[in-house]
Amino acid sequence: MPVATINDHLVQVDEEGFLTDYDEWNEDLARVLAAQIGIELTEDHWKAISFLRSDYKLTGETPTLRRVTTVGGIPTKELFVLFPKKPAKKMAYIAGLPKPRGCV
């Protein structure tokens, strides 16, 4: 498993740079991860990130876009504005969760 240095911290990541250990994440790290993909985190971003973190803790799965909308209460349209083009993937990346699983 590859290791990356982010903000002077060593973290476990997968081949695409998604964090693999839930507990290695913190808010400072999230800001750095977000900056790497060109996003500056605002309060609205944090609302989505917090939902992802708490939902993952509950279910053990990275929530889908649909779930962030239906359960997390954030309209899909807004998620596309906050995390342009690929919201599901970008949110998971910033929240330090595994990439949402692609089903065959």
Residue 103 annotated as catalytic: yes
From the CB of residue 15, how many other CB atoms can be counted at a distance below 10 Å?
Answer: 8
When asked if residue 102 is in the footprint of another protein (CB under 8 A), the reply is yes
- Best CA proximity match to 91, nearest among 72, 104, 103: 72
Q: Give the shortest CB-83-to-another protein separation in angstroms.
A: 10
Residues 22-81 that bind another protein (CB under 8 A): 64-67, 70-71, 76-77, 79-80
Q: Give the shortest CB-39-to-another protein separation in angstroms.
A: 15
Stretch that binds another protein, among 5-13, 16-24, 36-44, 84-92 (CB under 8 A): 84-92
DSSP per-residue string spanning 37-104:
TT----HHHHHHHHHHHHHHHHHSSPPPHHHHHHTT---HHHHHHHS-S-HHHHHHHHTT-PPPPPP-
Residues 6+ apart with CB under 8 A from 101: 61, 62
Residue closer to another protein, measured from CB, 26 or 76: 76
Q: Which residues are catalytic?
A: 103
Residues that bind another protein in the complex, under the rule CB under 8 A: 64-67, 70-71, 76-77, 79-80, 84-86, 101-104
